[in-house]
């Protein structure tokens, strides 16, 4: 290999190290040099970026006179970009420069709407800092949700959202995921959902009247007894030490009769029983069988 070819290779290495030419240009021009050398050409192929006479240099040199970075149109993707992300690839008939994004700063293109995931995978975008394909296969920073869901799309062509937790398919059990998947053992309306052994959380009323203090409370602060609801000892009703209105009626726990409060007395468990001397009147006549 003669001295001129070695010098050309060295110049290519310097341009590549300075970031003036891309790796693709470096390989292309190196192949051209080798081809010229093997064919016995008198001069090697040019090694610098090819620009029209008077054209601005590519990349960071594409700056306005005042030092402010220009916004120029990328001819490949039809997007306005900073001049530091573009390089001149030619000129129009009137001498106007034609710009395109550099290999290391390619334009970011949004995923197509209503198209299958395979269409994104076939996109011509290739890697580079900030490029979609530099992050994940198919040209997107994150895996496309539609690529993993059945059918890929919902109504109107919108990509389906990824459910929380690790899932293999919609509705399948989740290992350590969100609520172990719907319709599983810990799902809503199952025996161990909220009330163990009960019919589920939805069967419980939201509010009830405390038999002990005649106040309406949330059932989460109360306990249900055979005669009704009473407040828990650790969540007693706030009554302000006021006596129960004597006109209020309650059910006698001993006889099941509805009586006014002045004929009843309250037990520690919150139930009401008739006072001595004010007992409920219960019929002592034996029940008669009626033939049908």
Tokens at 184, concatenated: 């599983």
Mean per-residue pLDDT over the chain, rounded: 66
pLDDT digits (tens, 9 = 90+) for 85-110: 888 888 888 888 888 888 888 888 77
Q: What is the DSSP letter of 139?
A: T
In this predicted structure, what is the pLDDT of residue 244?
Answer: 58
Q: Mean pLDDT over residues 141-159, rounded?
A: 47
pLDDT digits (tens, 9 = 90+) for 166-190: 444 444 444 444 444 444 444 454 4
Handedness of CA 75, 77, 82, 88 (dihedral sign): negative
Tell how far CA 288 is from the center of its chain.
70
Confirm if 69 and 75 have CB atoms less than 8 A apart: no
In this predicted structure, what is the pLDDT of residue 102?
Answer: 86
In this predicted structure, what is the pLDDT of residue 3?
Answer: 77
Q: Residue 62's closest CA among 101, 36, 35?
A: 101
Q: Residue 272's closest CA among 243, 247, 249, 252?
A: 252
Query: pLDDT: is 220 or 136 the higher one?
Result: 220
d(CA 83, CA 69): 6
Q: Mean pLDDT over residues 279-286, rounded?
A: 79
Indicate the range of 78-82, 113-117, 155-159, 177-181 predicted with least confidence. Answer: 177-181
Indicate the range of 10-19, 44-53, 105-114 predicted with least confidence. Answer: 44-53
In this predicted structure, what is the pLDDT of residue 67?
Answer: 54
For 277, left (φ over 0), alpha (ψ -120 to 50), or beta? Answer: left
Q: Mean pLDDT over residues 70-88, rounded?
A: 86
DSSP per residue, 208-277: EEBTTT--EEEGGGEEE-SS-EEE-GGG----TTPPPPTT-EEEBTTT--EEEGGGEEE-TTS-EEEPTT
In this prediction, residue 112 has a pLDDT band, given cuts at 50, 70 and 90, of: low
In this predicted structure, what is the pLDDT of residue 139?
Answer: 45
Query: What letters, b where the CB count within 10 A reaches 16 and e where it falls short, cover 229-256?
Result: bbbeeeeebeeeeeebeeeeebbbbeee
Query: pLDDT: is 127 or 5 the higher one?
Result: 5
Q: Mean pLDDT over residues 63-88, rounded?
A: 77
Confirm if 146 and 158 have CB atoms less than 8 A apart: no
> What does the domain layout of the chain look like in residue ranges?
3-39, 59-101, 203-274
CB proximity list for 201: less than 8 A, separation 6 or greater = 188, 189, 193, 194, 195
């Amino acid at each position: 290999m003669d001295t001129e070819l070695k010098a050309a290779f060295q110049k290519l290495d310097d341009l590549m190290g300075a970031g003036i030419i891309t790796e693709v240009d470096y390989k292309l021009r190196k192949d051209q040099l080798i081809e010229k050398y093997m064919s016995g050409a008198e001069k090697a192929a040019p090694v610098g970026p090819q620009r029209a006479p008077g054209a601005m240099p590519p990349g960071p040199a594409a700056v306005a006179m005042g030092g402010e970075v220009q916004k120029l149109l990328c001819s490949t993707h039809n997007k306005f970009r900073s001049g530091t992300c573009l390089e001149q690839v030619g000129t129009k008939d009137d001498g106007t420069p034609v710009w395109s994004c550099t290999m290391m700063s390619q334009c970011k293109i949004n995923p197509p709407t209503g198209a299958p995931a395979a269409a994104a995978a076939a996109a011509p975008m290739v890697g580079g800092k900030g490029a979609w394909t530099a992050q994940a296969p198919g040209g997107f920073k994150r895996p496309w949700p539609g690529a993993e869901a059945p059918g890929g799309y919902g109504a109107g062509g919108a990509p389906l959202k990824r459910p929380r937790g690790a899932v293999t398919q919609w509705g399948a059990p989740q290992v350590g995921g969100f609520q172990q998947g719907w319709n599983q053992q810990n799902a809503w309306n199952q025996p161990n959902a909220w009330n163990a052994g009960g019919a589920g959380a939805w069967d419980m009323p939201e509010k009830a009247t405390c038999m002990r203090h005649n106040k309406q409370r949330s059932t989460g602060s109360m306990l249900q007894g055979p005669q009704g609801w009473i407040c828990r000892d650790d969540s007693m009703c706030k009554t302000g030490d006021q006596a129960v209105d004597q006109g209020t009626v309650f059910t006698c726990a001993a006889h099941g009769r509805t009586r006014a409060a002045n004929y009843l007395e309250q037990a520690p468990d919150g139930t009401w029983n008739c006072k001595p001397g004010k007992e409920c009147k219960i019929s002592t006549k034996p029940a008669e069988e009626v033939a049908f």
